[in-house]
């Protein structure tokens, strides 16, 4: 056992000594060529990851933006519905104008939760014309401050636009079951 420990220690010292010697040899070789020499940093291996935009890709996409692309301009992107009682339904219509030079087509509109349902203009919206995103928020089972969001995907640049509702939901006056069991209503 003692013999294995000493052998392992000796190999570790030998390994460290040779690795230090190699680094010193490259450092002295780099500095002996001139009085003042700069040592170039080690180059890192480049990993080709398609999920990360490089500076060349970013520059290419920003210069290739379509100046005639449709654009959504909302009168408001956040609607404050104030305070409602639990169980009430809030309806609001977001109106937008196509301020671009091509027809605007909404591909999809999705809500951040199941309590919110969006409906949108399904036909192309011509330049200068208006369209609508109707949003219905059901406060059943909700309590406190709420901020449901609707994400709109269209042929605009950028292709994602968001609108949202915000407000407070108060508890309903209907009693619920407590620690003593169900509550009897007359």
Q: What is the pLDDT of residues 86-128, one digit of tens each?
A: 999 999 999 999 999 999 999 999 999 999 999 999 999 999 9
The per-residue pLDDT for 74 is 93
Copy the structure tokens of residue 28: 């002295």
The per-residue pLDDT for 34 is 47
Sequence-ordered list of residues with C-beta below 8 angstroms from that of 45, at least 6 positions apart, any chain: none
> How long a stretch of residues is the chain?
186
Do the beta carbons of residue 77 and residue 163 sit within 8 Å?
A: yes
Count CB atoms within 10 A of the CB of residue 70.
22
Helices (H) and strands (E) in the chain, counts: 2, 9
pLDDT at 22 over 50: no
| 122-177 residue pLDDT tens | 999 999 999 999 999 999 999 999 999 999 999 998 899 999 999 999 987 666 66
CA distance 34 to 145: 70
The sign of the dihedral angle between the CA atoms of 38, 41, 42, 44 is negative
pLDDT at 9 over 90: no
CA distance 94 to 152: 12
Q: CA-based angle 44:50:53, to the nearest 5?
A: 80
The per-residue pLDDT for 183 is 65
CA distance 17 to 35: 28
Q: In degrees rounded to 5, what are phi and psi of residue 158?
A: -75, 160
Q: What is the pTM of this model?
A: 0.59
CA distance 174 to 181: 15
The per-residue pLDDT for 55 is 53
């Amino acid at each position: 056992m003692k013999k294995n420990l000493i052998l392992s220690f000796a190999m570790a010292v030998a390994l460290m000594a040779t690795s230090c010697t190699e680094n010193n040899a490259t450092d002295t070789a780099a500095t002996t060529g001139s009085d003042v020499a700069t040592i170039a940093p080690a180059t890192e291996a480049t990993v080709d990851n398609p999920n990360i935009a490089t500076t060349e890709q970013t520059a290419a996409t920003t210069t290739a933006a379509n100046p005639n692309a449709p654009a959504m301009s909302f009168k408001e992107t956040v609607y404050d519905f104030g305070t409602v009682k639990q169980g009430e339904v809030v309806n609001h219509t977001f109106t937008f104008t196509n301020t671009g030079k091509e027809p605007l087509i909404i591909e999809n509109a999705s809500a951040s939760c199941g309590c919110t349902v969006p409906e949108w203009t399904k036909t192309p919206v011509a330049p200068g014309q208006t369209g609508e995103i109707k949003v219905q928020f059901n406060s059943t089972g909700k309590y406190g401050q709420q901020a449901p969001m609707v994400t709109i995907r269209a042929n605009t640049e950028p292709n994602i636009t968001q609108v949202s509702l915000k407000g407070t939901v108060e508890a309903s006056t209907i009693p619920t079951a407590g620690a003593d069991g169900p509550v009897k209503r007359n």
